[in-house]
Chains A and B, each alone.
Chain A
């Protein structure tokens, strides 16, 4: 069946270092991927997205890489800050049907150490 999962449930980094959060997906027909950030007590917040016809997309301090060959997605955060501490979810867009429901992974907790 379709699923989106994460390799590491918890990632601890030092402030100022770069962070890499990984995600594997199983549905090769998926064509759109999104990273969300969820802080304590809040809902998921959109960070960055990427279409399947792209390999890389950059935002402010964040970069998403997509490797369709191995069905792998990663989120890179440059110069990680304490405010980046949160749970990060990758999500797959189930486009092509009658709905655009998101399929989420279990999440990775990013803990930034000062």
Chain B
């Protein structure tokens, strides 16, 4: 079974540009999460989809970030316009059920560098 995949693996853009990150969850997983780790800090939650619906977007830093999950399959996270402080690693995770001991499976991450 394929794991969570993310594209691209790396992205280098200039401040003010737009970048779109993609996440393909494990097939059949209704729950999809986005997290990010900025330089030297902990991994922080951004938002949670259940199928195509945003269940919790309390971690989204500002309105420059837009996440979508049309059709409840893959998800995209767009940053527009990108700022220097957006640099970091963006992880996607998926899970089958939101039970007490739900296991979130992480993708390899997209390493974003904003110059």
Contacts and interface: CB of A to CB of B under 8 A. Distances in A.
Given A32-B101, A100-B48, A45 B106 contact: yes
Contacts of A42: 108-109
A99 B55 contact: yes
Contacts of A97: 56
A88 B44 CA distance: 15
B49 to A, nearest CB: 10
Contacts of A34: 103
A106 interface: yes
A106 B101 contact: no
A43 B108 contact: yes
Contacts of A95: 100
Contacts of A100: 31, 48, 95, 98, 102, 104
B79 to A, nearest CB: 19
A93 B103 CA distance: 10
Interface residues of A, number: 27
A62 B98 CA distance: 25
A107 B56 contact: no
B103 A102 contact: no
Given A46-B105, A98-B55, A100-B31, A32 B48 contact: no
A101 B33 contact: yes
A102 B45 contact: yes
B56 A102 contact: no
Interface in A42-95: 42-46, 49, 51, 89, 91, 93, 95
Contacts of B98: 100
11 contacts: A32-B100, A43-B106, A44-B43, A46-B104, A51-B100, A91-B43, A93-B102, A99-B48, A100-B31, A100-B102, A102-B33
